[in-house]
Structure 1
């Protein structure tokens, strides 16, 4: 473990000079120059497509800039040279984790460690368990990566980086995959690393998180440096949000902006839904739904749930308490062993997803890069896939027309992209999510199931998603939102239902009492997957 920098050390941890990155005709970073002092926690913020991840990848040697230099603790690092960057002390933890799933934690650490020799499995596990305890990372050395919940996988990634004696640790959107309580534990771990002399870079979206943990903040917009690094002490949320959003700040509703930035007091009351018109039926009706536990978690146990047309219902709960089982059951991917599901007054038993989509079901999945998109396929092919489900082979659907329609949809959703032909995997996380939203929120939707719809999105994109979901509700669709962010649920939902251990344990309406909802999540015996890990 690297110790604190010597007293009087003047070399910045990272000194970027006129860094420019181009992908063909697209400029991801343009002339970015910034100096970051050692021993601090630095936040990098900006809207989706601002260049945050590109900047992190340049620092880690994964991307070679077209021009400009990068110095790490005063040492010039050859452009695009990962080994040199790691030798200088830089480690990057990606948002999408990359550890071998069949390895144990101890095997991962032993593999990246310079420690060599012939050891028994038990000796390796004892050594690395002691090391994990010493650096304050709560992991079992004998646990397999594939069996760990998301938060623990992230901890394993951080541990892997620290084995390499990281002096500059970069975490790319580390909070996007964590529940609120996991975020607090992550920040405590980051502060502990700072106390050990490690400089930490955090690529973040939420202003509350930036002001809670970072010593400085740097703002990028459109690939250019707006400001920074500047101290976060005394920095007002409204000022920071204005720097991030720029000219589009005025397009965000004042109440939404307050909720997203943490400005002032939040009332935890959603907007008033439109009055129901005579003859409207329920969008979703679930009675006594039972699904055995399996790959999605606890299963469901006699769940009742109603979502009316023109209503937004939120599902709250510690992650791993039946949320995935609920979505799988609605989609027909997890058949019920008891109970029934109706979508738009039509009962579904064994019918597949195509029949349910025909009835108006639309789904924004939990994992955009796994369940939501084919990363190697073009953007327009990803967008039109839903329109081809259940369509006759003889139905007219020319590629030129589909590509044109996809292009129009992406522009309406403000997706930052070069061409409809580019692969989905080339987009930033937030823009990839917008492609899914553009595909799923359409005029024929009667029931929209949105699983973590704003995870990883910036302020402007999050507000746009909220407005789109409210707009769908106002047009008569029922909306079911599953989110680990209680503030999000309280801001947008007309009703919030708590799931714990696969059971519905409470229903709440505005004005919401965060303590009462939190008590329902915990007192009912709800626990997350992290509690089930070995």
Structure 2
């Protein structure tokens, strides 16, 4: 690991010994961190490492159990975000804190009642000034609900800048952006840094860190475990994050597709409010291939996966698995027919938190003769199955009798995948299979998904992580606003995929990409 040369520049913002506990769980453990004006300080770590909790303490959303915040040499305490904003701290949240039915200007005024921008005319002018100054075009009178996600994020940033923030925290800001929008965001952050702002950039994405960081601090399990230079390799950064060497490459031989196993024809699906979220979608997935569904979150991917399982009844269209119609089948019937399903939200849909690991491993097979005789469960067989799956899938647990809620996110996901892959499958639908999972577990999960493909299963993988799509896909299906933009090879340039994720057809996106001058950036 490359060592970091000491920097003698004064820190404008210091966190000293910050500790935050939730009951017996220590989320942040005596953390020291400093942020200097005119730098981008990347706080890198896996989901659950304590990054966002630390910044929520800084922003007044959480009260620390120990430690202090120092600004310009003076200790400060913040009882709420308003006090933090008054001290010059702004935060761009991962989940936008905007009111959809308000205009951009009205959102800028929120929380500033009694301040100098309460006047709508002054607030509107402020939006225009900041928008022009930082190269973030936004229409002041536009309703937030009508804006694309990337523009909504600009509004979040403008809100922070309107308070004359000297220090800005960006909490996982790229999670819902296309590659082009990520490039735009990076340029904005660099512009803010060059103006003298101190920026904390929270992320778990190694590519982004290496592209923009001036300094990198790595957190693991609530503590600082090291610092690194921006030119450190992804492998070195991953090792710091996980605590061991990690193979970031997915070993994958070419696919050998063998006949259609999943066919979707003109599928239309509505959400709970009645809005059409999947509109006329058609595609096939062959046995022995991975078709990855790519797109910005919220473009119908979640509803597509739920419709395939039977959680949502389609308005129209057909779903065929090995030629058998599943369009009106229940989830139980779909699973019985041979579909494996890894849900997007494992905490809500993937397991029963109060059940043991062993019980969760047979949720979809609890009536099989192997595990039950009538209403009586065969606990010996259930434990034997759990021990075998624990070893096969490297589930890190003291006992298979422990509640699944005691496991880490990565081990919970291993339980779900182990359950789904413990029986012969025709189709595996995996929705965001590595979300909230550490790098080490991602390595394992990817290998198992590829192994399932190689056994002849048709794999439909839904992911908003382009790195994951590029690593696993044999073909890439791009969705935008519930429609099919195109199905393309996995080596399609990232810039072209990004344009398609914004609704640009493949042929047009290719022409735009070809006409764009070559530039050195983190997507290149």
Q: Which TM-score band (shorter chain)?
A: 0.7 to 0.9
Q: Of 97, 103, 125, which aligns to 1:127?
A: 125
Provide the residue aligned with 1:240 in structure 2: 237
Provide the residue aligned with 2:477 in structure 1: 497
Distance change >3 Å, CA 473–CA 73, structure 1 → 2: farther
Equivalent runs, 1:230-309 vs 2, <5 Å: 230-232=228-230, 234-247=231-244, 249-250=245-246, 252=247, 255-256=249-250, 270-273=252-255, 282-290=260-268, 299-301=278-280, 303-309=281-287
Task: Give CA deviations for 1:21-54 in whole Å, capped at 9, x if unaligned.
Answer: 3333333233322333222111011233322222
Provide the residue aligned with 2:458 in structure 1: 478
Provide the residue aligned with 1:168 in structure 2: 167
Q: Which moved further from structure 2: 515-524 or 149-158?
A: 515-524
Distance change >3 Å, CA 181–CA 325, structure 1 → 2: farther
1:523 aligns with 2:520: no
Task: Give CA deviations for 1:386-434 in whole Å, capped at 9, x if unaligned.
Answer: 9768989x956899x9999999979955599xx848699xx88x78877
Provide the residue aligned with 1:187 in structure 2: 186
Q: Which moved further from structure 2: 336-345 or 43-52?
A: 336-345
The Cα shift of 1:144 comes to 3.4
Q: Contact between 2:193 and 2:199, CA under 8 Å: does it hold in 1? A: yes
The Cα shift of 1:312 comes to 1.3
Task: Give CA deviations for 1:205-249 in whole Å, capped at 9, x if unaligned.
Answer: 111100111111001123222223x542x43333323222222x2
Provide the residue aligned with 2:522 in structure 1: none
Distance change >3 Å, CA 288–CA 17, structure 1 → 2: closer
Structure 2 unaligned runs (5+)? 1-7, 368-373, 510-524
**Within 2, Cα distance between the matches of 1:48 and 1:284?**
33
The Cα shift of 1:480 comes to 0.7
TM-score relative to the length of structure 1 = 0.73
1:360 aligns with 2:338: yes
Q: Which moved further from structure 2: 90-99 or 430-439?
A: 430-439
**Within 2, Cα distance between the matches of 1:447 and 1:479?**
6
Provide the residue aligned with 1:465 in structure 2: 445
1:105 aligns with 2:85: no
Distance change >3 Å, CA 47–CA 318, structure 1 → 2: closer
Q: Contact between 1:112 and 1:163, CA under 8 Å: does it hold in 2? A: no
Q: Which moved further from structure 2: 469-478 or 44-53?
A: 469-478
Secondary structure of 1:351's aligned partner:
coil
Provide the residue aligned with 2:3 in structure 1: none
Secondary structure of 1:448's aligned partner:
strand
Q: Contact between 2:361 and 2:418, CA under 8 Å: does it hold in 1? A: no
Equivalent runs, 1:359-398 vs 2, <5 Å: 359-365=337-343, 372=349, 378=353, 380=355
Provide the residue aligned with 1:152 in structure 2: 151
Secondary structure of 2:110's aligned partner:
helix
Provide the residue aligned with 1:264 in structure 2: none
The Cα shift of 1:99 comes to 2.9
**Within 1, Cα distance between the matches of 2:397 and 2:138?**
39
Q: Contact between 1:362 and 1:440, CA under 8 Å: does it hold in 2? A: yes
Q: Contact between 2:265 and 2:319, CA under 8 Å: does it hold in 1? A: yes
Structure 1 unaligned runs (5+)? 1-8, 257-268, 528-534
Secondary structure of 2:98's aligned partner:
coil
**Within 1, Cα distance between the matches of 2:234 and 2:64?**
32
Q: Contact between 1:368 and 1:433, CA under 8 Å: does it hold in 2? A: yes
Secondary structure of 1:112's aligned partner:
coil
Provide the residue aligned with 1:448 in structure 2: 428
Q: Contact between 2:295 and 2:478, CA under 8 Å: does it hold in 1? A: yes
**Within 1, Cα distance between the matches of 2:463 and 2:363?**
29
Q: Contact between 2:294 and 2:464, CA under 8 Å: does it hold in 1? A: yes
Secondary structure of 1:286's aligned partner:
strand
Q: Contact between 1:323 and 1:499, CA under 8 Å: does it hold in 2? A: yes
Q: Contact between 1:44 and 1:218, CA under 8 Å: does it hold in 2? A: yes
Q: Contact between 1:29 and 1:223, CA under 8 Å: does it hold in 2? A: yes
Q: Which moved further from structure 2: 355-364 or 37-46?
A: 355-364
**Within 2, Cα distance between the matches of 1:160 and 1:511?**
38
Distance change >3 Å, CA 335–CA 63, structure 1 → 2: closer
Secondary structure of 2:333's aligned partner:
helix
**Within 1, Cα distance between the matches of 2:116 and 2:500?**
51
TM-score relative to the length of structure 2 = 0.75
Q: Contact between 2:160 and 2:168, CA under 8 Å: does it hold in 1? A: yes
The Cα shift of 1:116 comes to 5.0
Provide the residue aligned with 1:266 in structure 2: none
